[in-house]
Amino acid sequence: MSNGVKHRVLFVCMGNICRSPTAEGVFRNLIRKQGLDASIYLDSAGTHDYHTGKSPDPRAVDAAKRRGVDITDLRARQVSIEDFEIFDFILAMDHANYADLMRECPKVHRSRIKMFLDYARNHPEREVPDPYFGGGQGFEHVLNLVEDASEGLLEALSACEAADTKA
C-alpha cells in the first residue's frame, strides 16, 4: 500500500452519526497511542444518506469526550461503491447494516465485510445497538462495546502484520 498505509478500515452503521463515528474516534485514539496512525487509514460511513454532511450526534460527542475521544471533526457520509475496493476491513455495527453492505458489495470484495463485534473479547453481544432513540446510557454502552472490539481489532491487525513479515 502507498504512503506506509498497511490497513484501511471502514466502520459502518446506518446514518453515520452515532455508532460508526464513535468507533472511528475510539480506534483512531487507540492507534495514535500505539504510534500506528500512519499505517492504518480509517473512515466511517452510513448505509443510508439520512445525515450526510452532518456532525456526529451531540450525545455521541459528549459520551466520547468523557472518555477522552474527540469526534467533532467527523462528518457523516454514505457508503460508496468505491469503498468496497478501497477498504480492507468494512466493519458493520449490526446485522441489518451487514446485510445492506453485502447486497451492495461486488462479490469479489464481500470477504472484506465483517461484524465489528466479532473482534470483541469481553462482550457476548454481536451487534452494537443503535442508541439514537434512547437515552445517554445507550451511548455509554456503545462506547464499552466499541472500546472492547477496537482492542481486538488492533490485535487482529497486528497478527496480520506479523504473518506478513514471516511470509
- Positions annotated as catalytic residues are 13, 19, 130
- One-letter amino acid of 50: Y
Contact 74, 55 (CB under 8 A): yes
C-alpha cell at 38: 500512519
What is the distance, to the nearest Å, from the Cα of residue 4 to the centroid of all Cα atoms in its chain?
Answer: 21
Whose cell is 472511528? That residue is: 24
For residues 89 and 114, the answer to whether their CB atoms sit within 8 Å is yes
Region at 83 (left for phi over 0; alpha for psi -120 to 50; beta for the rest): alpha
The letter for the amino acid at 17 is: I
Rounded Cα distance between 116 and 126, Å, is 8
- Taking residue 147's Cβ as centre, other Cβ atoms within 10 Å add up to 21
